[in-house]
């Protein structure tokens, strides 16, 4: 793979770009401060904006790493960050990138996550040269699985008691798409 880092991507309705410190308040308001949004995630919601400020500093410093892929999702019609999509794991030995995403509750079921994931999959396969993109979700988070399916990812199976999130030790469903399966 040829790592390019977090470059700006654009779709019909979205801008995917690097997190900027000025996104901190929107991030806290739209997703990191909401315990319902983080219910199926590995990190707890932020109780105070200072937690988001610390995370913002960490994210921004990481952009110097070409293997750090972390975008904020900005609908053009909204004009502010409503979530993130990123590489949760990069495995250079198998040309595999695991993708994760998080979107604010009031923006769910709008197609934004599907549109963002589709674009990130294309980027990783067409530009970075990944051979496999994978994603996982808590068995109970069916909506996340539907996003993966809409993006052309195939269900591979469920790993029993294979991960920990805010719900405890959980079963996770695994989805993937291979480079030769990407149709657009």
pLDDT digits (tens, 9 = 90+) for 112-157: 999 999 999 999 999 999 999 999 999 999 999 999 999 999 999 9
Q: Report, as an integer, the average pLDDT of 51-80.
A: 96
Q: What is the pTM of this model?
A: 0.96
Count of C-beta atoms within a 10 Å radius of residue 160: 10
| Assigned domain for 50 exists | yes
| Assigned domain for 122 exists | yes
Query: Residue 18's beta-bridge partner residues?
Result: 71
| Assigned domain for 154 exists | no
The whole domain housing 92 covers 9-135
Give residue 44's pLDDT: 85
Name the strand (E) or helix (H) holding 43: none
CATH number at residue 19: 3.40.630.30
The mean of the pLDDT values for the chain is 96
| Assigned domain for 171 exists | no
Q: Report, as an integer, the average pLDDT of 61-68.
A: 97
| Assigned domain for 145 exists | no
| Assigned domain for 153 exists | no
Number of domains in the chain: 1
Q: What angle do CA 4, 111, 100 make, to 5 degrees?
A: 45
Q: With contact defined as beta carbons under 8 Å apart, do 179 and 121 qualify?
A: no
| Assigned domain for 25 exists | yes
Question: How does residue 73 score in pLDDT terms, banded at 50, 70 and 90?
Answer: very high
| Assigned domain for 99 exists | yes
Q: Residue 41's closest CA among 176, 170, 175?
A: 170
What's the pLDDT tens digit per position in 80-118?
A: 999 999 999 999 999 999 999 999 999 999 999 999 999
């Amino acid at each position: 793979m040829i790592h390019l880092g977090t470059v700006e991507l654009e779709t019909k309705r979205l801008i995917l770009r690097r997190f900027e410190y000025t996104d901190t308040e929107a991030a806290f308001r739209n997703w990191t401060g909401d315990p319902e949004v983080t219910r199926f995630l590995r990190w707890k919601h932020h109780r105070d904006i200072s937690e988001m400020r610390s995370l913002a500093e960490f994210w921004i410093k990481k952009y110097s790493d070409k293997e750090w892929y972390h975008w904020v999702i900005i609908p053009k019609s909204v004009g502010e960050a409503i979530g993130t999509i990123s590489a949760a794991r990069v495995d250079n030995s198998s040309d595999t990138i695991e993708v994760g995403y998080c979107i604010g509750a009031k923006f769910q079921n709008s197609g934004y996550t599907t549109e963002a994931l589709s674009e990130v999959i294309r980027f990783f396969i067409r530009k970075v040269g990944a051979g496999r993109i994978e994603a996982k979700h808590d068995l109970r988070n069916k909506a996340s699985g539907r996003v993966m399916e809409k993006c052309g990812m195939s269900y591979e199976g469920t790993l029993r008691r294979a991960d920990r999130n805010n719900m405890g030790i959980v079963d996770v469903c695994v989805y993937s798409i291979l480079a030769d399966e990407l149709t657009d």
